[in-house]
Every structure is written in structure tokens, then in C-alpha cells.
Amino acid sequence: MKTVILTGGMGSGKSAVAALLKARGVPVYDSDSRTKSLYDRDPALVGRLEAELGTGLRTAEGRLDRAKLASLIFSDPEKKAAVEAVVHPAVLADFRRWKRWHRPKGWTYGPVPFVVLESAIILSCPVFDGVGDRTVLVDAPEAIRVARSVARDGSDPEAALRRIRQQRFDCSRVDAVLRNDASLEALSAETDRVFLNLFVSL
């Protein structure tokens, strides 16, 4: 079973593409939600983070205090790197377990020969090197991405633009770019086009 990486920056519409793929019977691993659930399912992971940072990170209910963790690493690159060194291997192991238990149901063009790993940051995380057989980047013009981010989160447009411009993707590692600059119907057709090409080549 092959793995296709689905990535893209803020406001690109990566989650919309993931939803379309799920509707077509393609198993999609959502890295963000799976990471959050890992914190709840694996107390030992939180313990390793506490040991690495030298402080307690649990709420009164024993769950990870995500706000505290975010505040600790927000402006400290060394702590952020230390947390990633613990969390990323755990996510990779979780993905591999998940992949063993997920088999595609088949889509319009027949049985799907791949699962999808959705992650915005995967191309900048060395621990995931070699995991994907193909990589698809979802992209849209900057102005559209800003407008989507503002509409979704109520963010300040200038702050959204700064965050978008901080995100960088190594296009030499991308096999296909999926443009998302029109309607949902157009995105659905573009998703079929891009993934059918991958389907044929895998």
C-alpha cells in the first residue's frame, strides 16, 4: 500500500481536498487531529514532554495543557525543536499503525492503491523523509488564502499574510500541484484529475 502526502499552507484548502478524498473512499490520516488525540491516548508521550521541558504540562484532569505547551515553545526555538523531537517520531509510529489497519474501499476509478497522509509541515520534518511515495501540494493565490484564513478564523488580514509568507515549501519534492482558486466544484474536478494521474502512476 502506497502513501501519498497531501500538504499545503494556511488557506490553501488542503482540508477541503482531504474531505473530497475521504468522500471518494480514500483513507486520510489527518496529522493535526491525530496528534491531538495522541496526547490524550498516550500519557507516556506527555510524560516525555514534561521530562524534556522540565515542567508539568497536565491539567487538573490529567490531560495535556495545550495552552501551556504552546506558550513554552512559542518564542523559544530550542524548546520547540525539543518538543518536535519527541512528538514527530510518535506521530510517525501512529501513522504506521493506522496505515496497517486502514484499507481503501475503492473509488470512481477502481480500488485505491494508496492512503493519504495530510500534514502542513511534513516537508520540513526530516523524520518523515521517505514516508511518502508521492507528494501533492495544494496551492492558491496569496490573496485568496488570506481571505479564506480571515473568513475561517476571524484573523487580522495582515497577521494572516505574515503567517502565510512564513510558510515555505520545497517544490522540488512535490510531484503535483493541485490548484484551488475557484469553486468547490472546480476543486472536486481538479482533485480527480491530479489523483487519477497518481492512481495511474502508482
Report pLDDT for 75.
Answer: 80
Q: What confidence tens digit (pLDDT) does each residue in 74-100 have?
A: 888 899 999 999 999 999 999 999 998
Which residues of the chain form beta strands (DSSP E)?
2-8, 28-30, 114-118, 134-139, 176-179
Give the separation between CA 6 and CA 134, rounded to whole angstroms.
Answer: 9
Q: Per-residue pLDDT for 110 more than 80?
A: no
C-alpha distances in angstroms, 13 versus 4, 27, 112? 17, 18, 22
For the record, the C-alpha cell of 194 comes out as 491530479
**Domains of the chain and CATH, by start:** 1-27+104-202 (3.40.50.300), 33-101 (no CATH)
For 86, residues 6+ apart whose C-beta sits below 8 A from its C-beta are 45, 48, 49, 52
Give the separation between CA 20 and CA 116, rounded to whole angstroms.
Answer: 12
What pLDDT band is residue 137 in, cutting at 50, 70 and 90? very high
Amino acid letter, 85: A
